[in-house]
């Protein structure tokens, strides 16, 4: 659970929740909640924080649906994207877009 924001004007905690943001009960200041993209911090198998545009290396053979073979150990995936969901890494391997679980890669 995230912490409730404080008023940017008078720094009072626990603002009132409005339809489109927050309102301070002390000074009356209204502000819009910061938009989040729904993406949590994503860490590789070694605990390093991944960021969009990073290169990663596959550490375990991965099977792909509908195609023989798969992704072999040591395959480098360049310029990853981070997306919300249970497979937070999106990248291209051999011209095919794939979604990968974070504990199957290490930062290159």
- Count of structural domains within the chain: 2
- The tens-digit pLDDT sequence of the chain (108 residues) is 456 678 888 888 888 887 778 888 888 888 776 655 667 789 999 999 999 999 999 999 998 877 667 899 999 999 999 988 888 999 999 888 999 999 999 998
How far is 37 from 39, CA to CA, in rounded Å?
A: 6
Residues 74 and 30 in one domain: no
Residues 54 and 12 in one domain: no
Residues 31 and 46 in one domain: no
Residues 31 and 51 in one domain: no
Assign residue 63 the CATH number of its domain: 2.30.30.40
- pLDDT at residue 37, as a whole number: 60
Q: Which long-range contacts (CB under 8 A, 24 or more apart) does 63-72 make?
A: 64/96, 64/98, 67/96, 71/98
How far is 32 from 34, CA to CA, in rounded Å?
A: 6
Residues 14 and 49 in one domain: no
Residues 51 and 14 in one domain: no
Range of the domain at 5: 1-35
- pLDDT at residue 5, as a whole number: 76
- pLDDT at residue 84, as a whole number: 85
* Closest-CA residue to 87 (of 104, 101, 74): 101
- pLDDT at residue 74, as a whole number: 96
Residues 54 and 81 in one domain: yes
Give the 3-state DSSP-derived string for 1-64, with helices as H, strands as E and coil as C: CCCCCCCCCCCCCCCEECCCCEECCCCCCEECCCCCCCCCCEECCCCCEECCCCCEEECCCECC
Residues 50 and 101 in one domain: yes
Residues 23 and 48 in one domain: no
- pLDDT at residue 47, as a whole number: 93
Residues 63 and 102 in one domain: yes
């Amino acid at each position: 659970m995230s912490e409730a924001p404080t008023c940017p004007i008078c720094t009072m905690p626990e603002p009132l929740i409005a339809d489109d943001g927050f309102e301070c009960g002390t000074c009356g200041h209204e502000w819009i909640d910061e938009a989040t993209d729904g993406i949590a911090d994503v860490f590789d198998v070694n605990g390093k924080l991944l960021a969009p545009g990073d290169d990663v290396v596959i550490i375990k053979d991965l099977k792909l649906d509908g195609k023989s073979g798969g992704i072999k150990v040591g395959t480098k995936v360049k310029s990853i994207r981070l997306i919300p969901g249970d497979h937070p890494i999106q990248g291209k391997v051999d011209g095919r877009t794939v979604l990968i679980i974070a504990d199957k890669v290490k930062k290159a």
